[in-house]
Amino acid sequence: MKILIACFSQTGNTEQIARAVQQELSGDHQVDLEKIEEVDAAGLASYELVFVDDSLSGRTLNGRRVLSYDEFRLRDAPSRAICIAISDSRTRQRLAERCENEGVPCFSVSAENVCILDDVQIGEGAFLAPFVTLTSNIRIGRHFHANLYSYVEHDCVIGDFVTFAPAVHCNGNVVIDDHAYLGSGCILRQGRPGEPLTVGRSAIVGMGAVVTESVPPGATVVGNPARPLK
């Protein structure tokens, strides 16, 4: 009987996630399995990787079966864990809360070439894509998503369910609140000790925006320099 390792996905990114986690199982990625009971230190032979997508149940993607959530939850296995690879932060939170309520632990996925330096703390359920860099003295909350080539510089604080699209440049002394979304290629100016640049709760920073001033909660900013979208 095998331990079930699953990845929540959604139509439109399922195959991309399948490739990423399949690479993980071949050694190109690292998975945090601390919360999974009865881990077999001899290798991954005791694990079965599946994907969870109610709309695609019954299909096979990249050689892995797709189950509905109920099929995953009720399948006979000594233990199970899941990674929530969905970009919408509210959906991610809803699914994380459902898993927590039903006793299904979440694990983190990190590409082998992710660079993490000194004193970096990351909550559960992170998804760190290839070429992500996290430097020093950083605090990151639960279910953080950082896409390709994004970086977080020193002395930053990032909340829960924050999403970085590819190539986000988050410079030092920045505070990002829960559920913020940062678009591809945006740049956040460095703050100052005691006077950080802030991105408020549920704010959206548009693709390619250059953020030179703090962004209020719920605001959407675009352009160079970034200004509220009208």
Phi, psi of 198 (to 5 degrees): -120, 145
How would you list the strands of the sheet with 47-52, edge to edge? Answer: 60-61, 64-67, 47-52, 3-8, 80-84
In the residue annotation, 154 being an active-site residue is answered as: yes
CB 209 within 8 A of CB 224: yes
Residue pair 51/65 in contact by the 8 Å Cβ criterion: yes
Q: In angstroms, what CA-CA distances link 59 with 1, 64, 68?
A: 22, 9, 10
Query: In 3D, which of 165, 163, 170 has the Cα closest to residue 145?
Result: 163
Of the residues 145, 154, 169, 179, only one is catalytic, namely 154
Q: List phi, psi (to 5°) of 136.
A: -130, 150
Q: Which amino acid is at 81?
A: A
Active site residues: 154
